[in-house]
Structure 1
Amino acid sequence: MWATEHSAVADVEPQAVWAALRDLHSGVKLSERSDTFELHGPFAVGTELSVTPQGQDTFRSTIVELTEPQVYADRTTFNGLTLLFRHTLTPEGPGRTRVTHRLEIDGAEADQVGPEMGPQISTDFPDTLDELFDAARRQATTGAA
């Protein structure tokens, strides 16, 4: 297995961060740079979604973990590899939330493929969290992401 993660703290409550995360994975673009998500059913464990990263082909993923407002995870399987994307939200005191965005690559070739593929996939994690936090702040002040 190969893994990487990026954490950052936002000056916003976990519920607002969760609402922005739910919106994104339900198809609401948080910015013009956001990946595109299309949910194929309810926002719930077991539901598939189509994910189209900027400038790339669409792939299917399945929601595998969902504990509001703490954890969201989806899994993608292709070419004998499993990619698990997990967002973990942790309160960091009044009005603050730590979000950890983790990528795990597993499978027979993960130790060989992960060191090259993983950084290519996760290079935008800091920007992705910034977009999520901006949307959460909008959510907290206006009630809409």
Structure 2
Amino acid sequence: MWEYQHSAETTAAPEVLWRHWSSIAEWPRWNAGIAAIEVDGPFAAGTEFTMTPPDGEPLRMRLTEVVPGTLFTDEMDAGDFVVRTVHRLEPGEAGATRVVYRTEITGPAADQVGPQLGPAITADFPDVVAALVRLAER
């Protein structure tokens, strides 16, 4: 298994952050790692979406867990490995909200692909979380 986590605190209210997360079609507005996105349903477990990174191939993903106002998990199943990212809101220091992105790569090929693919997937997490926080704090 390969794993990585990044978090940041913000003064933005959890419901404001959640509003931006739960509007998948708007993700490219604040996430520079997404050139285009197509959603096949509501923001709920089981909904699939196709995310296209800049200069990249479209990736088919699925929401596997949604706890309104708290967390959602998306997953890309590549057969011999699965990339799973949990996006979570937690109480922070002095009334702040902590935004957490955690990615795990699991499955039979995880030890082979994780060390190369994982850092490529998660390299922009600090920038993505910072952009979300800036948007939510407006």
Q: TM-score, normalised by structure 1?
A: 0.86
Q: Which runs of no fewer than 5 residues in structure 2 stay unpaired? A: none
Is 1:31 aligned to residue 33 of structure 2? no
Which residue number corresponds to residue 101 of structure 1?
101
Contact 2:33–2:124 under 8 Å retained in 1: no
Which residue number corresponds to residue 127 of structure 1?
127
Offset, 1:34: 4.5
Q: Mean alpha-carbon deviation: is it higher for 75-84 or for 42-51? A: 75-84
Which residue number corresponds to residue 137 of structure 1?
137
Q: Which runs of no fewer than 5 residues in structure 1 stay unpaired? A: 139-145
Deviations 1:77-127 (A, max 9, x none): 115110001101012256521011011101111012111111111000000
Deviations 1:16-42 (A, max 9, x none): 11111112xx21133372513321011
Aligned amino acid, residue 38 of structure 2: E
Give the ranges of 4+ consecutive aligned residues of structure 1 lying more than 3 Å apart after TM superposition: none
Q: CA RMSD in A?
A: 1.6
Which aligned pairs between 1:59-98 and structure 2 lie closer than 5 A?
A: 59-92=59-92, 96-98=96-98
- Alignment partners' CA distance in 2, 1:2 and 1:34: 21
Is 1:40 aligned to residue 40 of structure 2? yes
Percent identity of paired positions between Structure 1 and Structure 2: 35
Aligned amino acid, residue 126 of structure 2: P
Contact 2:41–2:48 under 8 Å retained in 1: yes
Please state whether the residue corresponding to 2:120 is helix, strand or coil. Answer: helix
Q: TM-score, normalised by structure 2?
A: 0.90
State the aligned residue count: 136
